[in-house]
Copies of this chain bind each other. A is one copy, B any other.
């Protein structure tokens, strides 16, 4: 039985608590109750652990949003489903998300890095999903006319910062979920 998942679990918890750079592979092995060598049997480098986590979370995020949106039948409901899913995931997989919000190895996000393709692609897919919901809403009349790509980008931007503020210790609002929904609703609701 491979204990690869144990390594990932330990890494996620440590990265979330202390950040990528402050966590050594030695510590990960210790927490997973394994020897350090086995880490490099499953993962080529320490960076590949991070990359694995990143892919897991992003994949689940994108698929989750897609599924949630599909069950709706107008643009605004699709956006609402997106927001709902986002906040559910934020609650249910908070450790993983915290882990991603902390310090990356800069090679992962750098636009000239081999890994960047991954991150950029995930965000592109996200922007496309949100964009298509906006377009749908503009057709069915549940969302007002506005530049689709820019608006999608700004919505994604708004949600993307939450974990950073969690770490700093701000954002202690009791009901951020519904405040955010209202905020986005005000942006998108058709002029009457």
Contacts and interface: CB of A to CB of B under 8 A. Distances in A.
A188 B154 CA distance: 15
30 contacts: A19-B110, A20-B103, A21-B21, A21-B105, A22-B105, A22-B107, A102-B106, A103-B106, A109-B168, A110-B167, A111-B167, A111-B169, A116-B168, A124-B170, A144-B186, A146-B183, A147-B179, A149-B173, A150-B173, A150-B180, A153-B170, A153-B171, A153-B173, A153-B176, A154-B158, A154-B179, A154-B183, A157-B158, A160-B164, A187-B187
Contacts of A21: 21, 103, 105-106
What is the interface residue range for chain A against chain B?
35 or more
Chain A facing B: main interface SS: helix
Contacts of A167: 109-111
A103 to B, nearest CB: 4
Nearest to A103: B103
